[in-house]
Structure 1
């Protein structure tokens, strides 16, 4: 399937403000792109990309006084198959984990393993290690949190979401990631495009989405605590320990978001952006 995706985001600022953005499609999907992908701005300013330690394409720019609008549009080919399910995947012993995977067992800004460790072991200690344990964590996070855009807050952590029992997709992901790490299952945060093309009906305004990956039997598998079922059409942008590493935009100064539009749909007409 050809998927047309992109965004338009605008800010206002009274003085020049440096910005860091994680808004490019992840390099692992480069071969699937069927049109060029380039972040552009109005007014036109110099834009510089680099690759961070997690393999994400990060964009640096400085918005001028008055503000800026940044946008990107592209077409990507996607197999449009559901997330892979491997019920027999086992839990890897910690001593056998690759060095670069160990970091995804540690606490991070939004994933406080120390505060949820006792809860995790009381809930999932008797569950068979591996896929069954991750699925039990997925079920718990899905049922524990009520989805509500009005409760979104950039400072909300996994502990906050667990106690308040409401949040958005990033909160579902943070809670599940934290509980996995508490149970010695490496887990990492993912962000990207996730449309509604595999759903029977449109579910509100389009937005970027958050999910997570868990490391089992030497492989990373995709899980989605908000929807709690395999989905189709994910377009990965970035991975990291939590939302800190893959924030859509980070401004180093005062700026006000004035426009936020995201689209993801099937490109039935062929390579039109």
Structure 2
């Protein structure tokens, strides 16, 4: 995060409503197995009011939790054109990301095995290639939160955000070398640097509306950020925006983007249309399945509007 440090506070009850969802259109020449990871996790601080997942099929999709506890739907795309729609109304808190100003990291010797895995290199977070650099840049910082803030600041200042520049084959070290990327690249770089200094860090994919911030324009998309394990709690950080934000709605978490892909197909199916929405609405004015009408959104401006 930036050097601005929000005052720590207890979790607040939800007091805003956000509509989130996506529309995916696939063209498949043959029956094609697919894994979908597009439903929000059922956990605080958000609360799902209503939710609908539409998958055209003779039979229902098989829903299960993956190894990371994410809600995954397994299904087979039929030949031809298929439209998949997820739509949800979610209650969130109006309080922004916050953290203790003197939050310490947990000694490696005290980390459980399920947490310890997040200190190791992974496909996109090749922290083993950054050990010397991370030690030089951040090794002098003792407090855990100071290290994470410094890593976020470095990533935010040295990686340039370029729309549509994402590539599925780039690791964190390669993103650092080229100097630009999209939100998933920012997350991978920050995660790898955290792991290089023995801070457990994991990749997060989800929705983030523009509450309290002006809409930058362009199509909405899923957002990637990361979480660091400090004081025996997972805490969110975002090297892309690098300032506290309101309304994060987590869909998935895992080692890196491999665990957070919204869809994985096993065949030649092509994604021909992709639409995502995440915007604040007034309760009672929007129903699931309604057309996406951004004239009804309450966010997208510096002014924060409540119910």
- Indicate whether the TM-score tops 0.5: yes
Measured against aligned partners, the alpha-carbon deviations of 1:133-164 in whole angstroms (never above 9, x if no partner) come to 10000001111111112311111111111111
2:201 corresponds in structure 1 to: 187
1:54 corresponds in structure 2 to: 68
- Please give the alpha-carbon distance, in whole angstroms, between the structure 1 residues aligned to 2:274 and 2:94: 26
Displacement of 1:240 in angstroms is 0.3
The answer on 1:16 being equivalent to 2:35 is no
Gaps of 5+ in 1: none
Measured against aligned partners, the alpha-carbon deviations of 1:118-142 in whole angstroms (never above 9, x if no partner) come to 1111111112331001000000111
- Please give the alpha-carbon distance, in whole angstroms, between the structure 2 residues aligned to 1:190 and 1:201: 22
What secondary structure does 1:181 align onto?
helix
Displacement of 1:243 in angstroms is 0.5
List structure 1 segments (4+ residues) > 6 angstroms apart after TM superposition. Answer: none
Displacement of 1:84 in angstroms is 1.4
- Please give the alpha-carbon distance, in whole angstroms, between the structure 2 residues aligned to 1:54 and 1:198: 31
Which aligned pairs between 1:19-34 and structure 2 lie closer than 5 A?
A: 19-29=34-44, 32-34=47-49
Displacement of 1:3 in angstroms is 0.8
Which aligned pairs between 1:213-228 and structure 2 lie closer than 5 A?
A: 213-228=227-242
- Please give the alpha-carbon distance, in whole angstroms, between the structure 1 residues aligned to 2:45 and 2:52: 12
The answer on 1:130 being equivalent to 2:140 is no
- Please give the alpha-carbon distance, in whole angstroms, between the structure 2 residues aligned to 1:132 and 1:147: 24
1:233 corresponds in structure 2 to: 247
2:46–2:92 contact (8 Å) kept in structure 1: no
Q: For 1:40, which of 48, 54, 57 is the aligned residue?
A: 54
What secondary structure does 2:156 align onto?
helix
- Please give the alpha-carbon distance, in whole angstroms, between the structure 1 residues aligned to 2:123 and 2:272: 27
- Please give the alpha-carbon distance, in whole angstroms, between the structure 2 residues aligned to 1:142 and 1:31: 27
Deviates more, 1:257-266 or 1:120-129: 120-129
- Please give the alpha-carbon distance, in whole angstroms, between the structure 1 residues aligned to 2:165 and 2:256: 19
Displacement of 1:257 in angstroms is 1.1
- Please give the alpha-carbon distance, in whole angstroms, between the structure 2 residues aligned to 1:205 and 1:64: 28
Gaps of 5+ in 2: 1-15, 289-307
What secondary structure does 2:272 align onto?
strand
Higher RCO (CA < 8 A, seq sep 6+): 1
1:141–1:175 contact (8 Å) kept in structure 2: yes
What is the total number of aligned residue pairs between the two structures? 272
2:266 corresponds in structure 1 to: 252
Displacement of 1:267 in angstroms is 1.8
- Please give the alpha-carbon distance, in whole angstroms, between the structure 2 residues aligned to 1:208 and 1:198: 18
- When normalised by structure 2's length, the TM-score is 0.85
- Please give the alpha-carbon distance, in whole angstroms, between the structure 1 residues aligned to 2:36 and 2:234: 25
1:70 corresponds in structure 2 to: 84
